[in-house]
Structure 1
C-alpha cells in the first residue's frame, strides 16, 4: 500500500501531526510505502500513485487557509520574540502554494481511490475547522473519503499541540489502514 500525506503547516504543528499519522500507518502496516510531504513539494504524479491520500492543514478564520490568512499569520509570528524558527516556517509557507491552490491542480481520480482529511485547530466555540473543506474538495475530485474528517487540537493559534494529540494522530493514521 502506498500512502501519500500532504500537509500545509505554518508553525510546525500540522507537520508534526502529519508525521505522527505517517508513523501510525507504518505501525499498522510496516510494509507500507509512506510519503509525508509539504504541499509545495507534491505533484500530480505522486498523488496518482497513492492508494490512500491524506491531506491536512491548519484552520484559519474557521476554515482552510488562504493566501491572505497565511500572510497575516506569518506577519504575526515574526513579531513574537523568541519565535524565529516558527516565523521562518510561517514565512516559507505563506510564500508557497496553500492547499486551496493545490486543489486546483489536483487531478480528478477514479472512484475507488481512498482519501482522508485532517486539520489542526484551537478548541473554542466557533473556531471551526479546515478538515471538512478538505474532505469536500477530495470528494469533488472523486476520492472516496474513508474516515470522518479529524481535527487535532493546538493550545493557541500557533501551538503547541495539546498533550496526547500526537498519540491520537498515530492511532488515527493506523485506523486508516
Structure 2
C-alpha cells in the first residue's frame, strides 16, 4: 500500500500532525510506503501513485486557508518574539501554493482510490475547520473519502498542540489502513 500525506503548515502544527499520521500508518502496516509531503512538493506524479491520499491543513477564518489568510498569519508571526522558526516556516508556506490552489492541479482519479482529510484548529465554538472543505474537494476529484474529516486541536491561535493530539493522530492514521 502506498500512502501519500500532503499538508499545508504555517507554524509547524499541521506538519507535526501529518508526521504522526504517517507513523500511525507505519504502525498499522510496516510494509506500507508512506510519503509525507508539504503541499509545495506534492505534484500530480506523487499523488497519482497513492492508494490512500491524506490531505490536511490549518484552519483559517473558519475554513481552508487562502492566500490572504496565509499572508496575515505570516505577518502576525513576525511580531512574536522567540518564534523565529515558526515565522520562517510561515513565510516559506506563503511563498508556495496553498491547498486551495493545489487542488486545481490535483488530477481526478477513478473510484477505488481512497482519501482522508484532516485539519488543525483551535477549540472554540466558532472556530470552524478546514477538514470538511478538504474532504469535499477530494470527493470532487472522485476520491473515495474513507473516514470522517478529523480536526486536531491547537491551544490558542499559535499553539502548541493540545496534549495527546499526536497520539490521537497516530491512532487515526493507523485506523485509515
TM (norm. structure 2) is 1.00
Counterpart in the other structure of 1:93? 93
2:29 paired residue number: 29
Q: Which residue of 2 aligns with 1:51?
A: 51
Q: Structure 1 residue 2: deviation in Å?
A: 0.1
Does residue 127 in structure 1 map to residue 127 in structure 2?
A: yes
Aligned to 1:2: 2
Q: Tell me how far 1:133 sits from its aligned partner.
A: 0.1
Residues of 1 paired with 2:29 and 2:117: CA distance?
20
User: Residue deviations 1:51-76, cap 9 Å, x none?
Assistant: 00000000000000000000000000
Q: What is the Cα deviation at residue 112 of structure 1?
A: 0.5
Verify: 1:38 aligned to 2:41, yes or no: no
Cα separation, 1, equivalents of 2:24 and 2:138:
21
Cα distance in 1 for residues equivalent to 2:142 and 2:158: 33
Q: What CA distance in whole angstroms lies between the structure 1 residues aligned with 2:26 and 2:114?
A: 17
Q: Who is 2:161 aligned against?
A: 161
Alpha-carbon distance in 1 for matches of 2:142, 2:169? 25
SS where residue 50 of structure 2 aligns? coil
User: How many angstroms apart in 1 are the aligned matches of 2:45 and 2:9?
Assistant: 22
Runs of 4+ displaced beyond 3 Å? none
Q: CA RMSD in A?
A: 0.4
Deviation at 1:95, TM superposition (A): 1.2
Deviation at 1:158, TM superposition (A): 1.4
Deviations 1:132-163 (A, max 9, x none): 00000000000000000000000011110000
Q: Which runs of 5+ in 1 are unaligned?
A: none
Q: TM-score, normalised by structure 1?
A: 1.00
Q: Number of aligned residue pairs: give it.
A: 177
Partner of 1:139: 139
Residues in 1 aligned to 2:33 and 2:158: alpha-carbon distance in whole angstroms: 31
Please state whether the residue corresponding to 1:53 is helix, strand or coil. strand
- Which residue of structure 1 aligns with residue 60 of structure 2? 60
CA distance in structure 2 between the aligned counterparts of 1:157 and 1:10, rounded to whole angstroms = 11
User: Matched residue of 2:75: which SS?
Assistant: helix
